[in-house]
Structure 1
Amino acid sequence: MGEIRFNEETLRDGQQSLWANRMTTSSMLPIAETMDRAGFSSINIMSGSAFETCILYLYENPWERLRLLSQHMPKTDLQVLIRGRSAFGWKRFPNDAIELLIKCLKKCGIKGLAVFDGLNDLNNIKWHMQVAKEIGLQIHPALVFALSPVHTDEYYAGKARECAEMGVDSVTLADASGLLTPERVKTLVPAIKKAIGHLDLSFVSHCGTGLGTSCYQEAMKLGVNVLSTASTPLSQGNSIPSTWETLSFARENGWQVNLNDFLVKKIDDYFYWVAYQEKKPIGQRVPFNLNYYKKYAAHQIPGGMMSHLASQLKNLGLEHRLPEVLEEAGRVRQEIGYPVMVTPFSQIVAVQAVFNVIQKERYRTVPSDLCLYARGYYGELAAPIEPNIKDRILEGEDPTPIDPAENYLE
């Protein structure tokens, strides 16, 4: 059997999912050289939310973190994750700002750019990939998985084919919400593999529904080349599968894994110690529950947004109406074209659902972000907005379509 390679995500996805990005640079540096020698094909070390948290909550310079980690990990390809036109922020940035950001990342020692768009609109990340290619960075676009009638295997295969035609280095199937099942993996992974030909297919799924590990095991059998994993204390729960468990399964079933077992365990031990010292939680395995999965799949609001939503309703004295809001969120998502429930779309859907429930008249109040969404500000939608709903959203507003690339330097 072939080789399974590993993208290490403890410093990015692991701590983002379980520690709200509160891991300090000083907690990362002592283990960085060990991680560099462990045999990972790449290590992802930063995202937009981590960049923001560094400044607002940790009072650190995120650029200095990138430089220091690059110095401590010279052997391994270091990656940074960028979200579409908003990059490291919350508003759209012009092409020249995106270009400057990517060039600064390379100056700090970054070798790979992982990039995605919340609507899977590849026009929103073409410029990123063009700039990265011109300056010699590896390009790893991610397609974000969602459940809906329009997010079919054919939909993802078509998007993957477009990525391949752009000359990327790999394509990633990213299940940020843990919605993939092993049964869906059996049809989706082969469809994407066929579409991208010789390119590597990377896969990342989360464990919040209890299915992440079994999806990894199925994906290996179907030819996935690279899996994203985290150290054991920062895996499972709302995070991703653990490196140790995944490499053990791969070896036991005949795949070649070029990781140093001793160093992988040393990394695990170190982060257990950090969790103990800093009183941080350890990831706990979540058992699969069909009833929970069905309810979650109906609205697809991610865990972080869910806790914020419950808190806001409690402040309003309306916590007992959370089930109504979640049901309404599923309805709103369907009506506005099934957006993938990642930032900012999970927030847009949830806020509209709250208004619809508490005001007893649907779409009586519409946030400006939803108006912009309906006008095309964020990009091409997977499905059209229902016409009568679009009329309600844009009632009294300028309905002129917005080109998401307008005013950008070419």
Structure 2
Amino acid sequence: MSSIELIDTSVRDGNQSLWGATGLDTGMMLQIAPVMDRVGFGAIDFTTSTHMAVAVRFKQENPWERIRLMRETTPNTPLSFLTTGMRFISWEAASHEVMSLAFQLLVNAGIRRFAIMDPMNSIDAMLTMADLTRKAGGETNVAALTFTLSPMHDDAHFATCTAKLAKSGKFDRIYLKDPGGLLTPERATTLIPALKMVMGKTPLEVHSHCTIGLAQFSYLEAATHGAQSLHTATRALANGTSQPPADMVARNLRDMGHGVDIDDAALAEMDNYFSALAVSEGLPPGQPQEFDRSYFRHQMPGGMMGTLKRQLAETKRLHLLPQVLEEAEQVRADLGYPIMVTPFSQVVATVAALNVINGERYKTLPDEVVRYVLGRFGAPTMPLDANLEDRIRSSKRAKELDDEPHMASIDELRRKLGKDLSDEEFLLRAVMPADQVDAMLATGDARRTYDPSHKPVKSLISRMAARDDLHSVEINKPGFKLEMLRT
């Protein structure tokens, strides 16, 4: 039996899948980072451009500073950045010079590993990004080939793509990415050997989700058939629509005779911290999922499922979720079976939700759908519904978007935004609303520490400060004294 490496996904995919990507801030990550560094993970799946945007928009925190601080506290474990195609934060495809700048800034901040994914599994696009990340100084390139189900995505298709990636010489590892948790144990017994046969000595990683309860079983089959690395999360951020829990995966692998070289005590400390954080912040820990065969039809990935639930809840429409998921199956087919991964899972989910809310199919079409049909994200996997394609292409909005310029060059953007900006601020302003970047800068430095046990005291103080009838408060307990006076 072989030794199996674990890649941690807690702060990126676990946070996104279970807590809508907004559950953790910089201080929460930094507090546990030294412990994570001791566990012995092969890498930490740390961020994407989408998560960087969330840091700015929802936390008013500098995402570049977050990477730097995390890098300082995890010197032994590479931080990984997942690409979502030739785009950075913006939905629009970016120029090579914009992507080159983004990758260079990520390397400068502390990203050592790039998981290179294209939402259409475009091999050419992945090879281009690999050249750009390597030129920027990235230490490890991992080709992230996205698993999906459609009439064309059989084992031979994935093996052909894998062979091209492995033979290019541009990737150090290959990573089978299963965002919907659709890889069954039975499929793993045929697909993993098919990939290994064409990969040579290139290591294979497997990343799946527990969305319908299959990932833990599929992981064991993947390891048996040659996968060297598995993506897992800490207890509170595992299960549900996230990855399998690291401690249980390690236990099962060892029971089968595999080696798993991690510090179990450090992993337990990490589990305890995030479990306490979840309780303190009122965040729901992941729970084991029941098998739901409908996922094989709509294929909504774990991260998008968490975001979709949050967005429907915010508009008091969470009860519509079953209808939206059912509608997503039809939308995906009409759009030519796009792979359900960023940004296409967002496109499909948004259109499905609008169809259900409006009570009419395709009454409202976001610009991203029009751009998709116009080919701005690449060529669709399969033909689109002819009537829908004709309707969109002949629309007034399609003509307007077809005539719009693509993202401006760096020189044009600098003339527009200001030549005195730092590269980091410039890039954020180039792809995000100015008021969100302004709010981030006005907020100042993010907190560097976090203690879950302090949350009840802070909540109590906040509630007391809001009361007009209290003029003074004194709290005394052994080793602690707090006095508050209204002035």
- Same fold, TM exceeding 0.5? yes
**Correspondence 1:378-397 to 2 at 5 A:** 378-396=377-395, 397=398
Aligned residue runs from structure 1 range 51-200, under 5 A: 51-134=52-135, 135-167=137-169, 168-200=171-203
1:9 aligns with 2:9: yes
Does residue 251 of the first structure (1) align with residue 254 of the second (2)? yes
CA distance in 2, matches of 1:400, 1:108: 35
Contact 1:313 1:319 in 2 (8 A): no
- State the AA in 1 paired with 2:198: A
Q: Deviation per CA, 1:31-52: give whole Å up to 9, x if none.
A: 2122212211111221223211
Name the TM-score, length of structure 2 as normaliser.
0.75
Q: What is the letter of the counterpart of residue 76 of structure 2?
A: K
What whole-Å deviation, never above 9, does each CA across 1:59-117 have from its counterpart, x for those lacking one? 21111111111111111222111211123332221111111111111111221111211
Rounded Cα–Cα distance in structure 2 between residues aligned with 1:357 and 1:72:
46
Does the CA contact (< 8 Å) of 1:95 and 1:408 recur in 2?
Answer: no
Query: Aligned-pair RMSD on alpha carbons?
Result: 2.8
Label 1:270 to 1:401 Cα distance change in 2 as closer, same or farther (>3 A): same
- Taking the aligned partners of 1:272 and 1:27, their CA distance within structure 2 comes to 12
CA distance in 2, matches of 1:156, 1:194: 12
**Residue from 210, 213, 229 that aligns with 2:213:** 210
Indicate the larger mover: 59-68 or 358-367. Answer: 358-367
Taking structure 1 as the reference length, the TM-score comes to 0.89
CA separation of 1:347 and 1:14: change in aligned 2, threshold 3 A: closer
Q: How far off its partner does 1:203 sit?
A: 0.5
Q: Is the 8 A contact 2:204 2:228 kept in 1?
A: yes
Unaligned 5+ residue runs, structure 1?
none
User: Aligned pair in 2 of structure 1 residues 66, 353: CA closer, same or farther (>3 Å)?
Assistant: closer
Q: Conserved in 1, the CA contact under 8 Å of 2:17 and 2:307?
A: no
Three-state SS of the structure 1 residue aligned to 2:45 is strand
Q: Which moved more, 1:335-344 or 1:219-228?
A: 335-344
* Distance across 2 between alignment mates of 1:37 and 1:15: 21
Give the counterpart of 1:281 among 266, 273, 284: 284
Q: Which amino acid aligns with 2:145?
A: L
Matched, 1:239 2:242: yes
Between the aligned partners of 2:300 and 2:120, the Cα distance in structure 1 is: 15
TM superposition shift of 1:127: 2.6
Alpha-carbon deviations, 1:123-173, whole Å to 9, x = none?
333332102223242101211121111121122112212211232011111
Of 104-113 and 157-166, the range deviating more from structure 2: 157-166
Offset of residue 339 of structure 1: 0.5
For 1:373 and 1:386, the matched residues in 2 are separated by 13
| CA distance in 2: counterparts of 1:276 and 1:319, whole angstroms | 25
Relative to structure 1, is the Cα distance of residues 304 and 19 closer, same or farther in structure 2, using a 3 angstrom cutoff?
closer
User: Is 1:226 aligned to 2:229, yes or no?
Assistant: yes
What does 1:309-388 correspond to in 2, within 5 Å?
310=312, 326-353=325-352, 363=362, 366-388=365-387
CA contact (8 A) 1:182 1:214 kept: yes
C-alpha distance in structure 2 between counterparts of 1:276 and 1:366, whole Å: 39
1:297-334 per-position Cα deviation (integer Å, ceiling 9, x unaligned): 2222342354267559966xx967x6665444322322
The superposition leaves residues 173-227 of structure 1 with CA deviations (integer Å, 9 ceiling, x where unpaired) of 1111112211111121111111212111100110111111111111111110111
Paired residues, what number?
A: 401
Query: CA–CA distance in 2 between the matches of 1:362 and 1:283?
Result: 33
State whether residues 112 and 140 of structure 1, in contact with CA within 8 Å, keep that contact through their aligned partners in structure 2. Answer: yes
Q: In percent, how many aligned pairs have the same letter?
A: 36
Segments of structure 2 that go 5 or more residues without pairing to the other structure are 411-487
Partner of 1:41: 42
- Give 3-state SS (helix, strand or coil) of 1:285's partner: coil
**What's the CA shift for 1:356?**
5.6
Shift of 1:376: 1.4
Report the AA paired with residue 188 of structure 1: L
* CA contact 1:375–1:399 (8 Å) conserved in 2: no
1:382 to 1:267, Cα distance in 2 relative to 1, 3 A: same
94-103 or 373-382, larger mean C-alpha shift: 373-382
Letter in 2 for 1:164: A
Instruction: Give SS of 2:91's match.
Output: coil
**Whose RCO is larger (CA < 8 A, sep 6+)?**
2
SS at match of 1:123: helix
Counterparts of 1:359 and 1:264, CA distance in 2: 47
Structure (1 or 2) with the larger CA radius of gyration: 2
Do the aligned partners of residues 319 and 77 (structure 1) sit closer, same or farther apart at CA in structure 2, a change above 3 Å counting? Answer: closer
Q: Closer, same or farther in 2 for the Cα pair 1:373/1:312, shift >3 Å? A: farther
